[in-house]
Amino acid sequence: MQTIREANQLPSALVALRAGGRSLALVPTMGALHAGHLALVEQAKRAAQRVAATIFINPLQFGANEDLGRYPRQERADAAMLEQAGCDLLWIPPPEAVYPPGFATRVSVAGPSERWEGEARPGHFDGVATVVAKLLCAVRPEVALFGEKDFQQLAVIRRMTLDLQLGVEIIGVPIVRDADGLALSSRNAYLSNDQRERALALPGALKEAAGMIQSGAAVGEAIEQAKARLGEAGFERIDYVALVDAQSLEPLDRPAGAMRLIAAAAIGGTRLIDNLAVEMDAQS
């Protein structure tokens, strides 16, 4: 695996990767890699002939009181994991290469960014859309892969890529979970053992709510029960629990079409997000 850090090294490295007309997939990350990220690389290897990854902790998507300063950094271990997974190129740009002096452009995506994470973390999706647009324009892959754990982010990136006609296929990769059901996340490292155990209420509450909805219970009732379970488990803040349309992210008060239950809540000061597809049988 070739590792580069300077923007002026990137064009020649990409030319070499694409020699012979080979296709390229991109896996953008913020580092602190885990099995969920490696699942993106595995899917990327099936989607294209060469795989590039990026590690860039994007300051634009962190709010003033968020965890930019303590976000996990393990660059050497991350690079080793990517190389073992079969990644061909790793680009680790410095902040000034992504946001040079005088940088004054922001990409803002209306629609799917406006609720949920958009309300809880103002400006977050502007930062996400801006950095992803820059990475896609710099690398010009045929496909780019993102995890479904950040389901709203995936919807925002798909909308942005389509609207800007970037010509990149965006592939969502299913959530990877630990054996106990907790979605893998770099922020899980912040949890104490006790908090980690109580955090299992999050996927558990979503699973129970999905079962209630599938059994005919009112959506509002299922959501209130999910919130109650999170409160009982010790989550000190619940930003949202909602049933939404899987494309528009608009809330649903009754089952309709492709749906997701989405949730965000904080325990021990660590904010966790999760989501679950809700499928109704034809009879329902």
Residues in the chain: 284
Pick the last residue of a domain from 117, 146, 173: 173
pLDDT for residue 282 is more than 70: no
Structure tokens at 158: 């798909």
Residues 99 and 224 in one domain: no
Judge contact between 56 and 136, C-beta under 8 A: no
Is residue 210 included in any domain, yes or no?
Answer: yes
User: Which segments within 49-179 are labelled E, that is strand?
Assistant: 50-55, 89-91, 143-147, 169-173
pLDDT digits (tens, 9 = 90+) for 44-62: 999 999 999 999 999 999 9
Helix axes 201-214, 219-233, angle to 10 degrees: 160
Residues 86 and 59 in one domain: yes
Domain count, the chain: 2
pLDDT digits (tens, 9 = 90+) for 4-40: 999 999 999 999 999 999 999 999 999 999 999 999 9
> Is 37 marked active-site?
yes
Domain containing 130 equals 2-173
Which of 135, 109, 146, 136 has its CA nearest to residue 124? 109
Residue type, 275: N
Is residue 261 included in any domain, yes or no?
Answer: yes
pLDDT digits (tens, 9 = 90+) for 202-245: 999 999 999 999 999 999 999 999 999 999 999 999 999 999 99
Structure tokens at 70: 């303590």
Supply angle C-alpha 281, 217, 198, rounded to 5.
Answer: 100
Which of these is catalytic: 26, 37, 89, 115? 37
Residues 259 and 200 in one domain: yes
Residues 122 and 80 in one domain: yes
Residue type, 83: E
Could you give the dihedral angle defined by the CA atoms of residues 105, 107, 110 and 112, in that order, rounded to the nearest 10 degrees?
Answer: -150
* pTM attached to this predicted model: 0.94
Is residue 179 included in any domain, yes or no?
Answer: no
